[in-house]
Structure 1
Amino acid sequence: MPDTAAHRFAGFPLRPAAFAAALGSTVVVAPHPDDESLGCGGLLALLRQAGQPVRTVLVSDGTMSHPNSRRFPPPARRALREAELAEALEILGVDADQTLHLRLPDGAVPTPEAPGFAAAVAQLGEYLAAQPPQTLLVPWRRDPHPDHRATSQLVRAACAGLPAPPRLVEYVVWAWERATDAELPQPGEVRGWRLDITPVVALKQRAIAAHRSQLGTVIDDDPTGFQLSALMLAHFAQPFEVYLEAE
């Protein structure tokens, strides 16, 4: 229900680009390579331009976007997508060398009751405790992709073990296209706001373009493989990004 999402988000107040600096040191948690650029690439660029430290956590191994490719078997797909992430981060001004790669199974990021969840929580918790950020950027808790929801649960479990949990700011990816009304923010649930990213829209578009495998220009031997549609990409060409915070 894209019209429902767009209508809901359009009512959020617009904060100026300069507001980004107030978030301070930030860690962005991305379920897959490209979520960081799509959901919050503008904010990441603004944070870096304001001199704020930004680090990245990549949750999944990204290998299920083209599961039938023979030219790019799973290890090659993982390497390709991680290289695309590093390029996108460099464009946004983020140091890719500080990225934590959890390499959980793409399409099956564990939920609390699944094997592997506790170990991932511990690994993420150690990473956050070593250099505590002021803000964590995490996918919207009901974003309509199971890996995004599992990532939200993973982050919240890791934060519960920290002595001083960071500010949690949620970004949207698939909610633009696929969210039902029940999956969108409900009245009184969160405080939504939009961030003006006009000064860095071009940087964000370059970062998205770095994810070539998701745009159909690299892996050409899997006709069933994933590709970002023009309609989907249009949501992320707008001069603002949408964020949600718990009341």
Structure 2
Amino acid sequence: MSSETALPFSAYPIRDASFVASLGATVVIAPHPDDEALGCGGLMALFHHAAMPVAAVLVSDGSMSHPASQLFSGPARRAVREAEFRHALSILGTDAQEPLLLGLPDGRVPASAEEPSFAEAATQLREFLEQYQAATVVVPWRRDPHPDHRATSQLVQAALAGMATAPRLLEYVVWAWERAAPADLPTDADKVTGFRLDIGAVVAQKQRAIAAHRSQVTPGVFTDDPGGFLLSAEMLAHFSSPYEVFFEALPS
């Protein structure tokens, strides 16, 4: 992690866990299975402990973390990743609401209306948010340095644009901890404020949810693709902190 990335995050003000009470019915949107646990698993667990409603959306099918596997076909890899996603939600206590699974291609989540399936996915997402009566939507930071994360942000913006009343928006970081260039971080033009949410009371619960994504943290699931993706120890260390980082629009 570069000092350029660490400095602004560590300087952000801390909000107490009671902050979740201000968010109302909330929907957490994950580009891949594990992003929900990594980026905002603590937030989700705090909702459960506060007996507040929270739902989840999984954008991609998660099938490309180990594309060379012969033992697991694409649909089989998708099934494993979705099962891990549901397991993580159960650990966080946020599985009462059936998640929305958009099933978009992992690594190729569409980022604009010119791309196939973008408009349909945005409509599905908007209808889910309206049905759930979401007061708050939690989505990856708009420039989190992964193409699917940035595309997810665009998809959410398209969904919100079609709503009569847009929900409150919080943005979380995942890959910015490791890969952010200075241009990826918030600027004055973004008109957002950063803060750290105190998740100390539930950080162990978050760690269990991360571990539920076994195919991403250990080599013992997709065993025949040694070049497949695994979260490094250095990356995972960022998510053992008693704080989660979020951005929110400044008051107009």
- TM-score tier after normalising by the smaller chain length: over 0.9
SS at match of 1:71: coil
Over the residues paired in the alignment, what is the CA RMSD in angstroms?
Answer: 1.1
Equivalent of 2:220 in 211, 217, 222: 217
Task: State the partner residue of 1:140.
Answer: 141
Q: What is the TM-score normalised by the length of structure 2?
A: 0.96
CA distance, structure 1, for counterparts of residue 17 and residue 189 of structure 2? 26
Aligned equivalents of 1:89 and 1:222: distance in 2? 27
List, as ranges, runs of 4+ consecutive aligned residues in structure 1 with deviation greater than 2 Å. none
Counterpart of 1:91 in structure 2 is 91
| Gap regions ≥5 residues in structure 2 | none
Q: Which runs of no fewer than 5 residues in structure 1 stay unpaired?
A: none
Instruction: Give the match for residue 233 of structure 1.
Output: 236
- Give the distance between the partners of 2:143 and 2:133, measured in 1 at CA: 25
Provide the rounded CA distance (Å) in 1 between the counterparts of 2:2 and 2:208: 24
The 5 Å alignment of 1:4-153 reads: 4-95=4-95, 98-112=98-112, 113-153=114-154
Aligned with 2:55: secondary structure?
strand
Residue 85 and residue 123 in structure 1: after superposition, are their counterparts in 2 closer, same or farther (change >3 A)?
Answer: same
Structure 2 CA distance for partners of 1:214 and 1:96, relative to 1, 3 Å: farther
TM-score of the pair, normalised by structure 1: 0.97
Distance 1:226 1:96, change over 3 A: farther
Provide, for residues 24-44 of structure 1, a one-character-per-residue CA deviation record: whole Å limited to 9, x for no partner.
211000000000000000000
* Structure 1 residue 143 displacement after superposition: 0.4
Q: Secondary structure at the match of 1:147?
A: helix
Alpha-carbon separation, structure 2, partners of 1:74 and 1:130? 31
One-letter code aligned to 1:153: Q
Q: Which one of 199, 202, 207 corresponds to residue 200 of structure 1? A: 202
How far residue 96 of structure 1 moved from its aligned partner, in angstroms, is: 5.9
CA deviation string 1:120-141 (max 9, x = no partner) = 1111111111122111000000
Counterpart in the other structure of 1:244: 247
2:97 and 2:51 mapped to 1: Cα distance? 17
In the alignment of these two chains, the number of paired residues is 247
How far does residue 2 in structure 1 lie from its aligned partner after superposition? 3.1
CA distance in 1, matches of 2:88, 2:96: 9
Q: What whole-Å deviation, never above 9, does each CA across 1:175-198 have from its counterpart, x for those lacking one?
A: 000010000111363100000100
- Label 1:224 to 1:96 Cα distance change in 2 as closer, same or farther (>3 A): farther
* 2:203 aligned partner, one-letter code: V
TM-aligned CA distance change 1:70 to 1:97, over 3 Å: farther
> 8 Å contact 2:144–2:175 — kept in the other structure?
yes
The equivalent of 2:173 in structure 1 is: 172
- Answer whether contact 2:54 2:97 (CA < 8 A) is retained: no
Asked if the contact 1:86–1:96 (Cα under 8 Å) also holds between the matched residues in 2, the reply is no
Aligned residues with identical type, % of pairs: 62
Matched AA of 2:109 = V
CA distance in 2, matches of 1:121, 1:105: 15
Q: CA deviation at 1:217?
A: 2.6
